[in-house]
């Protein structure tokens, strides 16, 4: 499983998408419910929220004490927006793609968000005590918060994603690597929002390529901490994606030991090589210039054997 940031928006498409209404969740995409359903308008909160992908014997599911959305226009159905955001969050955390979550659904859902951001508004989406269930694996969090801003058709949407107090059971290997705290600030062009959402959790369009600027990224577990920044072009196929940037790691030997304990010999070997070619500011800090292209990871211009 991997964590991948849920996506962002901006207002360049307002002229193309004049409607202020979002799209309801299609039944062949996912099914959602709540003990106390969310209302409409610029602020909505659902209590006892639950969502699962459609299809399969035991599809991935999301459960949260509350899910809330604030911002935008009073005429916007908040429940539709928080349902779509929860679909993307669940797809990102489980790497699950539901064919019923079509590009058209995501395009319809982001219309009011684009409209609100184009009017210089912001959006806040928050999940309180969310739990992700995927087979025998459960990942829980104290909170997940996503803040979106954008001002005008020629400016990108900026997203800030915070993940707090992550924990897991049912998969011992994952528990030793899952970041307990993570934060990312990134930006994306408006035209790329719908294709990105479909690529994360639905049926991506053919040849989709979404440019993302990662302004900052940090993830921490115990004494291990990863920081980075850079840019990426995301696609529906990881081997077709590309990325480049700068990364630094505190206590890399602890990560190597954890990966080795999992029996991931090839990954452990790659990390050992990365440690050897890295720049060492001190005994505990290692940094690199990294690139991903054609399924190959290059660290300080040296390709690493991940496969």
125-168 pLDDT per residue, tens: 999 999 999 988 899 999 999 999 875 666 788 899 999 999 98
Among the candidates 150, 173, 205, a domain finishes at 205
The whole-number pLDDT of residue 247 equals: 96
**Cα gap 22→76, rounded to integer Å:** 7
Dihedral angle sign, alpha carbons of residues 126, 172, 51, 81? positive
Structural domains in the chain (count): 2
Structural domain that includes position 109: 1-205
Among the candidates 205, 229, 251, a domain finishes at 205
Q: Are residues 226 and 114 in the same domain?
A: no
CB 105 within 8 A of CB 85: no
Tens digit of each residue's pLDDT (9 = 90 or more) over 20-30 = 456 789 999 99
Q: Are residues 145 and 27 in the same domain?
A: yes
The whole-number pLDDT of residue 72 equals: 65
The whole-number pLDDT of residue 19 equals: 39
Question: Between 78-94 and 103-118, two packed helices, what is the crossing angle to 10 degrees?
Answer: 120
Q: Are residues 269 and 162 in the same domain?
A: no
What average pLDDT does the structure give for the chain? 83
The whole-number pLDDT of residue 3 equals: 38
The whole-number pLDDT of residue 7 equals: 34
For the chain, residues with pLDDT lower than 70 are: 1-22, 38-41, 72-77, 151-154, 170-174, 204-206, 236, 305-307
CB 41 within 8 A of CB 71: no
Q: Are residues 57 and 180 in the same domain?
A: yes
The whole-number pLDDT of residue 278 equals: 93
Q: 3-state SS string over 43-66?
A: EEEEEEEEEEECCCCCCCEEEEEE
Q: Are residues 191 and 99 in the same domain?
A: yes
The whole-number pLDDT of residue 239 equals: 74
**Cα gap 126→130, rounded to integer Å:** 10
Q: Are residues 172 and 306 in the same domain?
A: no
Q: Are residues 224 and 81 in the same domain?
A: no
Q: Are residues 168 and 258 in the same domain?
A: no
């Amino acid at each position: 499983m991997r964590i991948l940031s849920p996506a962002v928006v901006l207002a360049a498409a307002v002229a193309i998408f004049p409607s202020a209404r979002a799209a309801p969740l299609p039944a062949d995409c996912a099914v959602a419910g709540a003990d106390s359903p969310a209302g409409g308008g610029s602020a909505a909160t659902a209590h006892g929220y639950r969502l699962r992908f459609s299809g399969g014997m035991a599809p991935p599911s999301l459960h949260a004490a509350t899910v809330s959305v604030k911002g935008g226009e009073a005429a916007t159905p908040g429940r539709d927006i928080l349902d779509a955001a929860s679909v993307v969050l669940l797809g990102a955390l489980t790497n699950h793609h539901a064919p019923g979550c079509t590009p058209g659904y995501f395009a319809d859902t982001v219309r009011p968000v684009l409209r609100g951001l184009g009017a210089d508004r912001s959006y806040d989406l928050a999940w309180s005590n969310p739990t992700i269930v995927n087979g025998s694996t459960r990942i829980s969090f104290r909170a997940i918060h996503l803040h979106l801003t954008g001002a005008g058709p020629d400016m990108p949407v900026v997203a800030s994603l915070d993940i707090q107090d992550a924990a897991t059971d049912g998969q011992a290997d994952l528990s030793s690597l899952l970041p307990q705290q993570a934060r990312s600030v990134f930006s994306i062009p408006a035209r790329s929002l719908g294709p990105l959402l479909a690529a994360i959790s639905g049926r991506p369009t053919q040849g989709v390529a979404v440019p993302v600027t990662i302004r900052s990224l940090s993830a921490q577990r115990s004494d291990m901490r990863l920081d980075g920044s850079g840019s990426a072009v995301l696609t529906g196929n990881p081997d077709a994606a590309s990325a480049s940037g700068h990364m630094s790691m505190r206590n890399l030997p602890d990560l190597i030991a954890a990966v080795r304990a999992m029996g991931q010999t090839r990954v452990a070997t790659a990390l050992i090589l990365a440690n050897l070619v890295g720049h060492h500011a001190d005994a505990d800090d290692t940094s690199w210039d990294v690139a991903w292209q054609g399924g190959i990871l290059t660290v300080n211009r040296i390709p690493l054997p991940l496969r």
